[in-house]
Structure 1
Amino acid sequence: MKFWPLKLTLCQSLNPSLFPMSSNPTIFLTDEQLAERWQCHRQTLIRWRTKGTGPRFVKINNQIRYKLSDVEAFEEANTVTPE
């Protein structure tokens, strides 16, 4: 199982100077990459999106992408500490 290096999306491969509002380019994951990261089936992510659960996602031109920062926030919010 390997998470890195992630394939760069179009947004990441553009020159950061074209986006003066953001000093850090946003990293996006595909549903396949997120399914691999979480060791779950891609269909699980699709079901969560349909139900309105799971991490936030971005839909552009019928393509689903997950911001890495949103994925990490979801992981943190759902981390269970044993008693």
Structure 2
Amino acid sequence: MREREKERIQRVKDAQKRLEEIKNRAREETVTNFVDGKVTTRTPLFSRKVQALETLIERNQRWVTKPRKKKAPKLPPTGITTDSALFTDQMLAARWHCSTSRLQYWRSTDQGLPYLKMLGRVLYRIEDIQAYEQQSIVFPQTLKNQDNKPAKPGREHVQPDKTDSS
């Protein structure tokens, strides 16, 4: 429980105790007189204090009896699977570990990958995402292909077929 909640609970308990004391004192100090067949009652004026304490208790009571639920922080989706055929900006940004504003910039400058604009929403197809990722693979210069020539940067390295010629 947080410190503020503990303080609030203590404030309500103190207010309830003071309210009970005031009501007891009011009962004790109430004077009833019988004069000429008329009954007169005099009570001390604690109405402002009582009203202030009741308001304080009423406003804070719900925090004492029912603690406030903590909202879970809104995080981008993490466990993205390729089961979905369409990706939103947030899903793709989480997949690529970049910001959604970068994807928006790419769209505005005709860079990046193709996208669909449906009902005012921008969606990306999984096939286009995977193709773009394949094109973006970069192999280091030290990696040699089958002819002992360095692989071209930015191109997919082709593995030789392992078929038995015997």
- Do both share a fold (TM > 0.5)? yes
Cα root mean square deviation, aligned: 1.5
Q: Deviations over 1:1-28 (max 9, x none)?
A: 422276x5xxxxxxxxxxxxxxxxxx00
Does residue 3 (structure 1) correspond to residue 80 (structure 2)? The answer is yes
Does residue 28 (structure 1) correspond to residue 105 (structure 2)? The answer is no
Q: Percent identity?
A: 28
**Equivalent residue for 1:73, pick from 109, 128, 131:** 131
Instruction: Tell me the CA shift for residue 38 of structure 1.
Output: 0.2
Q: Is the 8 A contact 2:82 2:126 kept in 1?
A: no
Instruction: Tell me the CA shift for residue 50 of structure 1.
Output: 0.3
Q: After superposition, where does 1:41-80 map in structure 2 within 5 Å? A: 41-80=99-138
Number of residue pairs matched by the alignment:
64
The higher radius of gyration belongs to 2
Q: Which structure 1 residue ranges, 4+ long, deviate > 2 Å from structure 2? A: none
Q: Deviations over 1:48-78 (max 9, x none)?
A: 0000001110001111000000000001111
Structure 1 length-normalised TM? 0.71
Q: Which runs of 5+ in 1 are unaligned?
A: 9-26
